[in-house]
Amino acid sequence: MQISNSNKDLVKKINALKKEKNAVILVHNYQRPEIYDVADFIGDSLGLCVEASKTKADMIVFCGVNFMAESAVILNPGKIVLVPNMDAGCAMADMVEAKQLKEFKGKHPDAAVVTYVNSTAEVKALSDVCCTSSNAVKVVRAMPQKKIIFVPDKNLAAYVAKQVPEKKIIAWEGYCPIHHFVDRSYIDEVRRLHPKAKIIAHPESKPEVLEVADYVASTTGMIDCARNDPGDEFFILTECGMTERLHRELPNKKFYGLCNLCYDMKKNTLDGVLKSLETMKFPVRVDPKVAAKALKAFEKMFEITK
């Protein structure tokens, strides 16, 4: 995809400032496509976590939503982490608070807490281990406890429970509004309109959707599925921005997607990224005690998935 003339100057200025300030820009797959042009790394939650944990940059500009930037702070104590827009939140992360989880843990003292990275630092700090959509099954399977409190996504929890039947999964009642609105009737309509298209669904989707999808994968996993499948048409059941990434990666294949976008993910702009680098706004901070506890949950995840 060509960079528009209006964006060329912005991209040039951002890239120059990155070099001057030894900054790295981490970009989630759901971001506006023009932000891809200044990214040092584009990926899903797991990829971004890994990149954040190993970067040698002095400064990280995180183009995603706030819980992702908090994760970068946790994984890089002492480094500057900036977000272009402080209002880029996450509806799923807002569905569980630390106080609620602490009370819930008290009702299930023999259960391990596995927390999806789509959560606040305070919630991660109360967890035994973190996970992402791409490694949740592996993480849960590796935990020695037979009971697992899975926070906050009940759909991902249901997917894990099906893959790991030997564990009792106690699911939190959270969900992603982007994925949760899709039901079986929507899939039937997709099949009617695009009979040749393979359906790739995100595991945050409802169980009734995952049962009939051709593939279930994280956003980066979706690229692998489409690349390795001999077909040339795919319907992508996740936030609509993912089709932009897929068109860039695999221009010879056709991708259709949900007419549903995450407004929080789209709050970041090239103008915002430039201002962030110029003014050092907006810095993300996590209480050091909270960060230290949350880091242990991340380290456990990395230990399991290495």
* DSSP secondary structure code for residue 165 in this structure: T
The average pLDDT across 276-292 equals: 96
Given a cut of 60, whether residue 6 has pLDDT beyond it is yes
**Residues of the domain holding 108:** 93-177+298-305
Phi, psi angles (nearest 5°) of residue 58: -80, -25
Same domain, 205 and 274: no
Which pLDDT does position 206 carry in this prediction?
97
**Lowest model confidence (mean pLDDT) among 74-83, 145-154, 171-180, 196-205:** 74-83
Number of domains the chain contains: 3
pLDDT digits (tens, 9 = 90+) for 218-232: 999 999 999 999 999
**Lowest model confidence (mean pLDDT) among 68-72, 191-195, 211-215, 260-264:** 260-264
Confidence of residue 261 (pLDDT cuts 50, 70, 90): confident
Indicate whether 289 belongs to any domain: no
Which pLDDT does position 66 carry in this prediction?
94
Confidence of residue 5 (pLDDT cuts 50, 70, 90): low
Indicate whether 117 belongs to any domain: yes
Same domain, 106 and 171: yes
CB neighbour class for 173 (10 Å; exposed up to 12, middle 13-18, buried from 19): exposed
Given a cut of 80, whether residue 95 has pLDDT beyond it is yes
Same domain, 241 and 214: yes
Indicate whether 168 belongs to any domain: yes
The average pLDDT across 53-73 equals: 93
* DSSP secondary structure code for residue 118 in this structure: S
Same domain, 138 and 156: yes
Same domain, 122 and 99: yes
Same domain, 98 and 167: yes
Same domain, 62 and 83: yes
Indicate whether 18 belongs to any domain: yes
Confidence of residue 148 (pLDDT cuts 50, 70, 90): very high
Same domain, 9 and 24: yes
The CATH number of the domain holding residue 113 is: 3.40.50.10800
Indicate whether 293 belongs to any domain: no
Which pLDDT does position 78 carry in this prediction?
84
pTM above 0.95, yes or no: no
Taking the C-alpha atoms of residue 105 and residue 103, their distance in angstroms, rounded to an integer, is: 5
Confidence of residue 4 (pLDDT cuts 50, 70, 90): low
Same domain, 17 and 86: yes
Long-range contact pairs involving 247-253 (C-beta distance under 8 Å, separation at least 24) = 247/1, 248/1, 248/33, 248/36, 249/223, 250/223, 250/226, 253/226
Given a cut of 70, whether residue 3 has pLDDT beyond it is no
Indicate whether 292 belongs to any domain: no
Indicate whether 186 belongs to any domain: yes
Same domain, 247 and 274: no
Indicate whether 290 belongs to any domain: no
Q: How far is CA 154 from CA 45, 81, 176, in A?
A: 18, 30, 9
Same domain, 71 and 85: yes
Same domain, 10 and 84: yes
Given a cut of 70, whether residue 115 has pLDDT beyond it is yes
